[in-house]
Structure 1
Amino acid sequence: MDVDGTARASAFRVLWERLKEHPLARIGPGLITGVADDDPSGIATYSQAGAQFGLNMLWTMPLAFPLMAAVQSMCANLGRVTGKGLAANIKSAFPPVVLQVVVLLLLVANTLNIAADVAAMGEVAELVSGINRHLMTAFFVFATLLLQMFVPYHRYVFFLKWLTVSLLAYAAVLFTVHVPWGQVALRTVWPRFTPDATAAAVVVGVFGTTISPYLFFWQASEEVEDMQAQRGGAPLVRDPRAARTELRRIRWDTWSGMLYSDITAWFIILATAVTLHVAGVTDISTAAQAASALRPLAGNFAYLLFALGILGVGLIGVPVLAGSGAYALSEAMGWKEGLERKVSDARGFYGIIAVSVLAGLGIQYSPVSPMKALFWSAVINGIVAVPLLVVIIILVSKKSVMGTFTASRPLIVRGWIAAAVMGAAAVAMFMPS
């Protein structure tokens, strides 16, 4: 190797070591879970809310934040305290039919959601690069699949954490357009809209994509992964010495990750409200469509920021969707599971990931449109979210499950409020106008 090559290699090693020591690299699963919440399908939902109702859907995010943070905190605590994922805990505490129905619906919803996400990523990549969307979709699918299967979790998750920076693109968009901040502040706390079935459909869509079942399973299982990666790591019910430190870390990690996610969703609603809604563009079907519509209204820079954000969060969202289903089914079946394991040691686990992602790709070439896939994914998530929330609340309230680390009363109350809000919104969506 020549002198220049040696210098470059040395500089790369120094940069790598600095990145590994960066505070971002030490953040737990909460950050990735939060960013995965704003996947391309979520971006499409938030964009539709902003385009259709303008500033009058901003209020959903301040309401959603304490609820989503409470639910994810319960899931994280469940995983760290028991040393088992959500599906494994349901298996040991409820009749088999409960777990079977939940896991089946989760797998179907996740596969449909993956289909919608990778389709959006392919469309955006085509807009930016000019390369055929189907080729780009296939590229993203196989890239995420190979990374999950052949890169150890502790290395793969490192890159996922740095991809979370892509969400800042949506805040940057607001610097390229005029924003009436006085009206924004007012409408965030005092919206004006008619509470009919159309508004209810958007509200349930926003809450459904914000408080999603796949995130429950992922958060609990990733706490187990992180525990197992620690030297001498053990469930808190067996070794409570680390409880104070670990539960405080989980609280900070989860609430900060959900805040990052929530503020980003608020930015997306705001960005589309002050551009698309103002221009009379009120019907957005996909995240890629939202990016395209921004171009003539807010300029190339805003369009490019929005598009790159979609690609960044898609590269996080797809692995989380596939991984959450794999954890759930593997725990239900008693298979070896975990992204830290080699493929040869957890064939069933990685097989589920492969089937989910490839089925999502296959939908691109079937008569089923990605938007129909997204619609049915939202419907299934709406069906399973409310009873699953009830199950989670029961689990974290049981001393037989959590020992002395049962959830606090404020956390339980927020969990019940989340279940009630989502249940009421779902019922309202099907009421006649």
Structure 2
Amino acid sequence: MANQKVETAVLDTAHVGDIRGALGTIRHDDIELRQGWKQRFKTLLAILGPGLIVMVGDNDAGAFSTYAQAGQNYGTSLLWTLCLLIPVLYVNQEMVLRLGAVTGVGHARLILERFGKFWGAFSAIDLFILNALTIVTEFIGISLGMDFLGVPKVAGVCLAAVFIMLSASTGDFRRFERFSLILVVGSLVLVPIFVMVHPPLTQVSHDFLVPQMPTGGKLSDVMLVIIGIVGTTVAPWQLFFQQSYVIDKRITPRFIKYERADLWLGIVLVVIGAVAMISFTAALFGGRPELGHFQDAGAVATGFAKYYGRVPGVLFAIALIDASIIGAMAVSLSTAYALGDVLSLKHSLHRKPGDAKGFYAMYCGLIALAAALVLLPGVPLGLLTNAVQTLAGVLLPSATVFLLILCNDKDVLGPWVNNRVTNLLTAVVVAVLVLLSIILTAAVVFPDMSGETITDILISGGVVGLVIAIAVNVLHAREEADRSIPKQERKIDLKALYSWRMAPLTKLPTMVLSQRNRLWMGVLRVYLVVAMGMVIYRVIQVALI
């Protein structure tokens, strides 16, 4: 234990030192137990940031478009998807925050080191392409918001791009986090819009808690929206961002419980925002000519001005711009962090641009490229936005599989490996996500499939997935060596637990995948090819209609 505490796998020396959060500081040598609620609250304030930023950043321009489309086309009938995604959000993000605090190494680098060059390259390239497209959607959101407010497109997009670049390029981590938390607070502008429109709370509560399928529309279109909701609510970039941001903030195992609280606060905010958007959009267009004819988020702002006055329209446009900025910052950073990890570059917001040229060049380059693409004439903005969210939903199972295996790797997490409940929940999540993609494929091939059929498939597939997950968990959750150790001897004292860190990557034994894991990795490759192909095919179909 003592050796691992001193010699860790941290790749950038800037990732070690005092925690200098937006709302407080914790010295690197501060290992005292917190006594009383005041000390714990001060510690929580210092830790707050990663969970809030990654969650609120997820309610970005793509989310505005996806949630607005769900509300305008299908009312509040799809609110239940958000309720089901709450445990998915927590399980996935809790695993990456644990990986970040314990290992000190970013998600992309861990995949490269533990799974080999093929999956490492796939992970990095996949993340880069999807994130680049996602950043384009953020500037689409900025453009639509600025247009409603009367700001010229070129001027608005260029000013926003410069603003986003400068926000992360000061070399001061605390300054960046304070600015990000201001944007987090700005996301609450959605609440007064909800109050102004006042959707029926009884209907909203019912549809949030009771699963149902919309009565109108083609099944394939509905499934595209559902997978888009999954993709925008639980996006792959979130995994990479939070793990790296926890590392850059210098959070260690000592403060994992506080970071979990930070994550829960973020989940509450993201769900409130998502429910508000679907609900007030449903109320805005319900019974009106625009019902079922979603265009883009800009048209939603116009609808507010048309039916409720200029004020809610302006507030919606401001919320859209706010969300797009924080989304662009977080997604760009997740990419720069990941590539910095893989390429062994200096990659920290604690460093000045001159001291981490490659890191800031990637961050600023992605933003400049996205802004330029949005300014090109003839780009199908609304279609591109929804397509990106759907692709994110399809790619999420692969990211979750990597995450699950890493969090059961004792050389990586030691005493912090997943427990049986987490493994069970994650296995069910992967099964459901794959099932949704299979249903999308079936809906494309059989467009006349009924809502009852899809409900039956979801229920039966969920039961089968649960049974398989339980069986696998019971048979393989613990290694034989662990089962031979009495329970009382497996306990570890808190001091040792909090000081445990992963050894340097060069000293880790090679991970040997079991035949079972190799089989699933092969199936995963086939799934990705087929599912992505069907999504692209369906998006092209929609574009040609």
TM-score range, shorter chain: 0.7 to 0.9
In the TM superposition, residue 171 of structure 1 has moved relative to its aligned partner by 1.7
Is the 1:73–1:255 Cα contact (8 Å) retained in structure 2? no
The one-letter code of the counterpart of 1:352 is: M
Is the 2:305–2:312 Cα contact (8 Å) retained in structure 1? yes
Equivalent residue runs for 1:296-375 within 5 Å: 296-366=306-376, 368-375=379-386
| Closer/same/farther in 2, CA of residues 280 and 393 from structure 1, 3 Å limit | farther
The one-letter code of the counterpart of 1:256 is: L
CA distance in 1, matches of 2:176, 2:192: 27
Aligned residue pairs total 400
Is the 2:77–2:207 Cα contact (8 Å) retained in structure 1? yes
1:206 aligns with 2:249: no
Equivalent residue runs for 1:172-251 within 5 Å: 172-190=192-210, 191-194=212-215, 196-227=219-250, 235-236=252-253, 242=254, 246-251=255-260
CA distance in 1, matches of 2:279, 2:180: 26
In the TM superposition, residue 25 of structure 1 has moved relative to its aligned partner by 6.6
CA distance in 2, matches of 1:165, 1:373: 28
Structure 1: tracts of 5 or more residues without a match: 1-18, 228-232, 237-241
Is the 2:229–2:389 Cα contact (8 Å) retained in structure 1? no
Measured against aligned partners, the alpha-carbon deviations of 1:200-245 in whole angstroms (never above 9, x if no partner) come to 1111000011110111100000110111xxxxx7x54xxxxx2xxx
* Alignment correspondent of 1:269: 278
* Alignment correspondent of 1:392: 403
1:254 aligns with 2:263: yes
* Alignment correspondent of 2:181: 161
* Alignment correspondent of 2:86: 65
Is the 1:117–1:318 Cα contact (8 Å) retained in structure 2? yes
Is the 1:126–1:133 Cα contact (8 Å) retained in structure 2? yes
CA distance in 1, matches of 2:81, 2:394: 20
* Alignment correspondent of 2:500: none
Is the 1:115–1:364 Cα contact (8 Å) retained in structure 2? yes
Is the 2:228–2:386 Cα contact (8 Å) retained in structure 1? no
CA distance in 1, matches of 2:404, 2:242: 15
The one-letter code of the counterpart of 1:96 is: K
Structure 2: tracts of 5 or more residues without a match: 1-21, 25-41, 448-545
In the TM superposition, residue 64 of structure 1 has moved relative to its aligned partner by 0.7
CA distance in 2, matches of 1:102, 1:88: 10
* Alignment correspondent of 1:8: none
- RMSD over aligned Cα atoms: 2.0
In the TM superposition, residue 383 of structure 1 has moved relative to its aligned partner by 4.2
CA distance in 2, matches of 1:384, 1:103: 13
Is the 1:37–1:317 Cα contact (8 Å) retained in structure 2? yes
* Alignment correspondent of 1:417: 428
CA distance in 2, matches of 1:284, 1:339: 39
Please point out which of 412, 416, 427 is paired with 1:405. Answer: 416
CA distance in 2, matches of 1:105, 1:84: 19
In the TM superposition, residue 320 of structure 1 has moved relative to its aligned partner by 0.5
| Closer/same/farther in 2, CA of residues 197 and 402 from structure 1, 3 Å limit | same
In the TM superposition, residue 393 of structure 1 has moved relative to its aligned partner by 0.7
CA distance in 1, matches of 2:213, 2:312: 27
In the TM superposition, residue 70 of structure 1 has moved relative to its aligned partner by 1.1
CA distance in 1, matches of 2:79, 2:115: 38
Is the 1:61–1:263 Cα contact (8 Å) retained in structure 2? no
The one-letter code of the counterpart of 2:262 is: D
Measured against aligned partners, the alpha-carbon deviations of 1:166-224 in whole angstroms (never above 9, x if no partner) come to 22121211211242222222222233525822211111000011110111100000110
CA distance in 1, matches of 2:158, 2:429: 37
1:102 aligns with 2:123: yes
Please point out which of 21, 31, 42 is paired with 2:63. Answer: 42
CA distance in 1, matches of 2:383, 2:205: 35
Is the 1:109–1:378 Cα contact (8 Å) retained in structure 2? no
In the TM superposition, residue 370 of structure 1 has moved relative to its aligned partner by 3.2
Tell me the TM-score normalized by structure 1: 0.87
In the TM superposition, residue 32 of structure 1 has moved relative to its aligned partner by 0.4
Is the 2:108–2:338 Cα contact (8 Å) retained in structure 1? yes
Which fold has the larger relative contact order, with Cα–Cα distance below 8 Å and residues 6 or more apart in sequence?
Answer: 1
Measured against aligned partners, the alpha-carbon deviations of 1:283-321 in whole angstroms (never above 9, x if no partner) come to 323222222222212222221221111111122110111
The one-letter code of the counterpart of 1:398 is: D
CA distance in 2, matches of 1:136, 1:24: 34
Is the 1:53–1:277 Cα contact (8 Å) retained in structure 2? no
Is the 1:86–1:328 Cα contact (8 Å) retained in structure 2? yes
Please point out which of 115, 130, 133 is paired with 2:153. Answer: 133
Is the 2:81–2:226 Cα contact (8 Å) retained in structure 1? yes
CA distance in 2, matches of 1:59, 1:383: 19
| Closer/same/farther in 2, CA of residues 280 and 382 from structure 1, 3 Å limit | same
CA distance in 2, matches of 1:173, 1:61: 20
CA distance in 1, matches of 2:63, 2:398: 22
In the TM superposition, residue 394 of structure 1 has moved relative to its aligned partner by 0.6
Please point out which of 160, 163, 172 is paired with 1:143. Answer: 163
CA distance in 2, matches of 1:283, 1:100: 40
Secondary structure of the equivalent of 1:430? helix
Structure with greater Cα Rg: 2
In the TM superposition, residue 371 of structure 1 has moved relative to its aligned partner by 3.4
CA distance in 2, matches of 1:404, 1:141: 43
Secondary structure of the equivalent of 1:56? coil
Is the 1:44–1:284 Cα contact (8 Å) retained in structure 2? no
**Aligned structure 1 segments of 4 or more residues deviating by more than 4 angstroms:** 19-26
* Alignment correspondent of 1:429: 440
CA distance in 2, matches of 1:272, 1:220: 34
In the TM superposition, residue 26 of structure 1 has moved relative to its aligned partner by 5.0
CA distance in 1, matches of 2:73, 2:139: 24
